[in-house]
Amino acid sequence: MAETVRSEIEIAAPQATVFAFLTDPDKIMRWLASKATVEPHPGGIYLVDVGGKSLARGEFTEVIPVHRLAYSFGWEGRENVPPGSTLIEIDLVEKEGGGTLLRLTHSGLPDEAERASHEKGWSHYMRRLAIAAAGGDPGPDTMA
């Protein structure tokens, strides 16, 4: 049975800023990747090199600027979670008084071990995203 990761984080930045940190390669490299190629439109590529060790690949399936992203996801060279084998959905909700609530759902993971691993990774990288999008420096990536 497929496993799912669900996570939320409040970010002290407007939706448009958070959306840019999820779709602009230069901004993605500030919190997640050493290299990034993204084409944020349905059918566009999602290719992110996490720490120079793991290459994530997928394709955007839904893009609603400043509100929602969905893309297939998986890892090059990993049989358990191959490219495009899972689905990431990100919703950005404007918070009263400013800021953004990011809701992430990562579905289609093959087993509990992969769910736990991806949950740990998302928790780490969502905290880094929150710092970067709010204008801070998340520092060196300790997971990379």
**Domains of the chain: which residue ranges?**
3-133
Range from 47-51, 58-62, 133-137 carrying the lowest mean pLDDT: 47-51
Which CATH code is given to the segment(s) 3-133? 3.30.530.20
Residue 10 contacts residue 131 (beta carbons within 8 Å): no
Mean pLDDT of the chain: 96
Reported confidence tier of residue 77, pLDDT bands at 50, 70, 90:
very high
Kindly tell me if the per-residue pLDDT of 1 is higher than 80.
no
Among residues 36, 13, 22, the alpha carbon closest in space to that of 88 is found at: 22
Reported confidence tier of residue 52, pLDDT bands at 50, 70, 90:
confident
pTM, two decimals, is 0.95
Q: What is the pLDDT at residue 144?
A: 65
**For residue 16, how far is the Cα from the chain centroid?**
15
